[in-house]
Amino acid sequence: MACKQGIRKNIEASKKYYEEQRKYNPMRELWTSLVKRVYETDDGFDSLTPDEQTYFALGVLDGEVYNGGMHQYFWNSSGAFYRSAMDGLLELKALEALRLLTEAAKLLFDDAVPEDRETRCAMIKEYPDDPTVPTPEWAVALDRIDKEYCADPDKLGERLEEFARARGLVQPFEKEEAEQAVHGNTH
């Protein structure tokens, strides 16, 4: 019955996916190292170089929006990196993503986006709890923004990888991968 229902196929696909995830990936290692430095050191985001800050701020933006939309991005700690994300989008010439991010900020906040999470959460517009209440116009517009962003008009992931390679951010992790290949170690 498992084969007829496609369960076996899903199990095999899942195994293959996780096998790929266990393989060494320099871009993933770069991201992991930045996340650890931001969240597990005293200096956090400030300990990153300007290029690392750009890469991190845009990676967080992209991840949050794909996971739960612009509202989630601004609600979570990620919203603290809003200004850095704006600067990074401008630097990478991801102008559609920049337009969408600033449009979402204007919808959710009547004024500037606070860097402090508690202040941001106190000011952000919230979805109605009551399902009988009509969806607010801002929420309809935000849904449109999320969909436009997720269509990836700027190919942000590709731009980020090119940026990381051009600025030498991934190079130390590629060296580590080459050393592991020589010594036969796996990550």
Average pLDDT of span 149-177: 92
pLDDT in tens, 89-106: 999 999 999 999 999 999
Average pLDDT of span 5-24: 68
Identify the pLDDT of residue 106: 95
Identify the pLDDT of residue 177: 56
Identify the pLDDT of residue 56: 98
Angle CA 16–60–88, to nearest 5: 125
Nearest to 172, CA basis, from 52, 89, 88, 54:
52
**Rounded distance between C-alpha atoms, residue 121 and residue 74, angstroms:** 8
Identify the pLDDT of residue 88: 98
Half-sphere exposure of 17 (CA within 13 A, CB side): 6
Identify the pLDDT of residue 175: 73
Q: How far apart are the first and last CA of the chain?
A: 37
Residues in the chain: 187
Confidence band of 20 (pLDDT split at 50, 70, 90): low
Please state whether 69 falls in left (phi above 0), alpha (psi between -120 and 50) or beta. left
Do residues 59 and 32 lie in contact, with contact meaning Cβ atoms separated by under 8 Å? no
**Rounded distance between C-alpha atoms, residue 14 and residue 23, angstroms:** 15
What is the residue-averaged pLDDT of the chain?
Answer: 89
CA dihedral 144, 150, 151, 156 (to 10 degrees): 130
Residue in this structure with the two tokens 């010594």, named with its chain if needed: 183
Identify the pLDDT of residue 163: 98
85: Cβ contacts below 8 Å, ≥ 6 apart: 57, 58, 60, 61, 101
